[in-house]
Every structure is written in C-alpha cells, then in structure tokens.
C-alpha cells in the first residue's frame, strides 16, 4: 500500500478540480449575453484563481462592461505572471518527473501583452486617458524587457501592442512617446511579417510622417516621406475613429502523441544528458531490429481554426473603408508554440526518459511494481494545453477621419473571398473634433 501512495497522489494532482467549463462561457458570449458569461465565471471562481481563469474573467468582464473588474482581473494575472517569470518556481523539479501541467503557468508573451490592449481600452471607455497611458507604458516596458532577455526572439505579440501604444500616446498628446512606439511597431511588424502574415500597416508610416513633422525631425521626415508618402490632410472640425474588430477565437491547444525510438545500442545513464540526442530523432525512422523501445511523449499542438468572418468593411455616411489586419492571434499562437517546441521537447524527453529508467529499474526489483510504475508514467504524461482561450482569432482596424457629431457605423463582415456574409450597425458613436474615439467590436463566428 505504501508503494502505491505516490502513484495515487500523482493521479489526484493530475485530475485536479473540475473548475469552470469553457463551453459555459462561450455559449452566452455567442448569444450576445456577456453578463451571463461573467456571472458564470464569478460563480465558479476559486479562492486563488490562476492566470488562465483571470484572463478569461478579465476579457468577459470587459465585454460585459464591468470595466473596473476587468482591469482588476488583468492586473492580478499580470502580478502572478511577473512573479513567476522572474523567480524560481518551487514546482519546477516536480514537473520533470510528472507533467508540464504541474508547472505554475506563467502565460505566453503575447498573452501578457494582449491583456494591456483590453486594460487600456477599459480606461479609455471610462474617460480615464491617463490610466490608458499608464497601461501603454507598462506594455512598452514589458516589450523592452522581453527584448532585453532575448534580442533574437521574434516576440510575435509586440507589433500590435507597440502600434496600440502609439495610437494612445498620440491621443494623449505624448508626441515623442507616440513617435517612438510607431517606429518600434514598424520594425516589429517588418521583422515578424514572414511568419505572422501581417504587413506593416500604411497608417503607421503616415503617423511617422505626421509626428516627424510635428517634432521637427527634418531628416527623418524626408526619409519617411520617401518611404511612405505624404500623410493625408486632416480637415477642420473632424475627429478620428479608431475601430478594432475582433473575429472568432484563437485555436485551442491540443495534445499530440509523438514516438521516439530508443535503440538497442543506446546506453542511457542520465536522462538529462541523453534527451538532446533523442530529440534529434524526431520524425526519423529506424529498422525494427535497431529499435529496443518506442518512448511515447505528449506534446502541445495548435491547428488552424479560422472563423467564417475574416475581414470587415465599414460605411459611415458616404465614407467606406475596409479594415486592415493588425494582429493575427492565431498565427502568433502557432508561431510562439513552434518557437517554444525545441525547449518543450527536450524537457518532455528528460521527464519521459526518467520515467523509462525508473520503470526499467522497478521491473528488475518486482514485475508488478514495474507495471505500476509504467502505468503511472502513461497516466501522468500529459501535454500542457493551458492558454487564454477567449482571445480573438484576428484583430482588424479601421482608422477613419469623421466630422464631429454622432454617427452610425454600418459594418459588413467579409468571408475569405471578400464577400459580405453578414451585417450589423453600431449607433450613436460620438466623434469630437481633434480627438480620437476608440471602439472595439467582437464577433465569434
């Protein structure tokens, strides 16, 4: 009985508590009932909610117009993530012999950045622009921190947040900060374009021309004018609408079982030292006579799950404009996981090899003990599929100059062929002269 206790303890840790059901969150959201989704999450909150739940709560609260509660949830998630990212994790050693799911979740870089997008909008919608500026400074500081940690990292989530920061800095009259953010956004978009499929938005170039002129940077003004052209003239008594359209869901993480051959010639004495060698056999086949054992590991994976709506066109009076893609969250999630895979794979193989060696040793002592140890290894080998699941699949932006006054926005949602498949309208959008009006809108199909 004593020998079985560690196994039973591991099983209980892996099962954990049921918590909330994601489907119970998305169903009311898709019915246009974010308040019901918010109440459901509130009801199922644990005493010590973790990062994924706090992200879901923060976003659902944002859509339900509980803006302070939304920011509070995002701030709590940020504090936990920062603490885990910068400090050693006590459960790290345990994850090497059980599962990555026992590692405290620190959130991916793009998740930590996108929470500032919603947090900033929370303040904008409460007419607290200074609070939004603070969120943009925090986002900028986090981007700089990530880049300082690893200058070679693609940091796929940074272009959009740098762009958003430029927009809000400019709206707040912080011209120099806006100029720097736009310059960074142009660079980040350009660096990540091949993998994310999002080109540098033309509006960034126009903003650089406009702000270089305002700040008196004559040399850079000429360079940007040659690169992007002259910025459009802003008529008097007009304001700017900055409209974000969020479509669908980011694809969920799933698990994929991958087999690695241990050869008859392998002499494995140390799991950590042998894991990199085994990792090189990913996708390589060997004759059966050379294979002594097939090591089974579970790895997280993400498959594309595009929504039906993959574009938007807005009409305001006689003005019409298509939205531009500013963040492809699906591609960001996929490319982030691809970048993480080599490290995840080696760590997973270290864990699997340690279990393999333990089973082999247990069999030498007792056949039944070996069977039990092998069963424990199979059950506890689970891929870490934790993620912020309510994030949109893509984010588009319409940036439009409009006369001051109240307007109705007519929205046309487009399919992959650019054809309208559904329409909606947003009434009573107020435009103030020489000011920016921010608005975000979400669909789930």
Question: How far is CA 39 from each of CA 24, 93, 206, 378, 387, rounded to the nearest angstrom?
Answer: 11, 37, 43, 38, 21
Give the three-class secondary structure for 442: strand
The verdict on residue 100 lying in a domain is: no
Residue 12 confidence (pLDDT)? 41
Residues 163 and 183: their CA atoms lie apart, in Å, by: 9
In this structure, is residue 172 part of a structural domain? Answer: no
CA-to-CA dists, residue 276 to 263, 350, 432, angstroms: 15, 9, 60
Distance, in Å, from the CA atom of 353 to the CA atom of 274, rounded to the nearest integer, reads 8
> Looking at the 3D structure of the chain, how many domains does it have?
1
d(CA 344, CA 357): 20
- Which helix (H) or strand (E) covers residue 301, if one does? strand 291-302
pLDDT value for 118: 97
Structural contact between residues 344 and 355, judged by C-beta atoms closer than 8 angstroms: no
**359 is a domain residue:** yes
- pLDDT at position 95 is 47
Strand order in the sheet with 405-414: 319-322, 311-316, 405-414, 420-431
* pLDDT of 94: 45
Rounded to whole angstroms, the Cα distance separating 250 from 153 reads 22
- Helix, strand, or coil (residue 366): coil
- Specify the residue for token string 């003005």: 319
Task: Write the DSSP symbol of residue 288.
Answer: G
The enclosing H or E element of 330 equals helix 329-365
> Is 386 domain-assigned?
yes
Q: Within a domain: residue 140?
A: no
In a domain, 51, yes or no: no
- Domain membership of residue 368 (yes or no) is yes
Residue 287 lies in a domain: yes
Looking at residue 115, its pLDDT comes to: 95
Blockwise average pLDDT, block size 10, the chain, 445 residues: 39 49 91 95 89 95 97 95 70 50 81 96 97 96 80 72 96 96 93 86 93 94 91 87 97 93 92 93 90 91 95 94 95 92 92 85 60 50 87 96 96 94 96 95 93
Task: Please tell me the predicted confidence (pLDDT) of residue 397.
Answer: 97
Output the pLDDT for position 237.
87
Distance CA 205, CA 225 (A): 8
Q: What pLDDT is stored for residue 382 in this prediction?
A: 78
Range of the domain at 310: 238-445
pLDDT at 85: 76
């Amino acid at each position: 009985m004593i020998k079985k206790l560690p196994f039973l303890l591991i099983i209980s840790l892996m099962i954990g508590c049921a918590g909330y059901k994601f489907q119970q969150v998305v169903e009311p959201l898709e019915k246009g009932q974010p308040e019901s989704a918010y109440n459901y999450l509130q009801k199922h909150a644990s005493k010590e909610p973790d990062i994924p739940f706090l992200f879901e709560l923060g976003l659902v609260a944002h859509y339900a117009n509980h803006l302070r509660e939304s920011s509070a949830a995002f701030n709590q998630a940020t504090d936990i993530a920062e603490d885990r990212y910068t400090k050693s994790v006590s459960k790290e050693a345990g994850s090497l012999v059980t599962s990555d799911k026992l590692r405290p979740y620190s959130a991916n870089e793009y998740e930590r950045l996108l929470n500032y997008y919603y947090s900033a909008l929370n303040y904008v919608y409460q007419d607290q622009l200074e609070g939004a500026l603070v969120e943009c400074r925090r986002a900028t500081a986090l981007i700089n921190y990530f880049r300082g940690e690893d200058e070679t990292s693609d940091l796929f989530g940074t272009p959009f947040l740098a762009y958003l920061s430029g927009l809000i800095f400019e709206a707040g009259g912080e011209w120099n900060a806006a100029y720097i953010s736009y310059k960074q956004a142009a660079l980040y978009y350009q660096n990540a374009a091949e993998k994310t499929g999002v080109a540098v938005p033309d509006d960034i170039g126009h903003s650089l021309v406009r702000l270089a002129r305002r700040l008196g940077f004559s040399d850079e003004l000429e360079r940007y004018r040659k690169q992007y052209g002259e910025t459009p003239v802003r008529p008097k008594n007009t304001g700017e609408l900055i409209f974000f359209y969020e479509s669908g869901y980011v694809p969920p993480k799933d698990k994929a079982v991958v087999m690695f051959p241990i050869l008859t010639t392998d002499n494995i004495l140390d799991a950590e030292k042998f894991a990199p060698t085994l990792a090189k056999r990913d996708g390589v086949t060997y004759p059966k006579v050379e294979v002594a054992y097939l090591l089974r590991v579970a790895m997280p994976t993400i498959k594309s799950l595009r929504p039906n709506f993959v574009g938007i066109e807005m009409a305001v009076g006689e003005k019409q404009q298509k939205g531009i893609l500013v963040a492809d969250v699906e591609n960001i999630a996929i490319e982030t996981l691809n970048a993480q895979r080599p490290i995840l794979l080696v760590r997973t193989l270290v864990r699997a090899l340690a279990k393999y060696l333990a089973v082999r040793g247990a069999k030498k002592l007792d056949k039944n003990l070996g069977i039990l140890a092998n069963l424990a290894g199979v059950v506890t080998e689970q891929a870490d599929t934790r993620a912020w699941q309510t994030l949109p699949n893509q984010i588009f932006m319409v940036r439009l100059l409009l006369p001051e006054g109240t307007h109705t926005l007519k929205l046309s949602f487009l399919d992959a062929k650019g054809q309208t498949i559904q329409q909606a309208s947003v009434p009573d959008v107020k435009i103030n002269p020489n000011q920016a009006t921010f608005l975000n809108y979400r669909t789930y199909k």
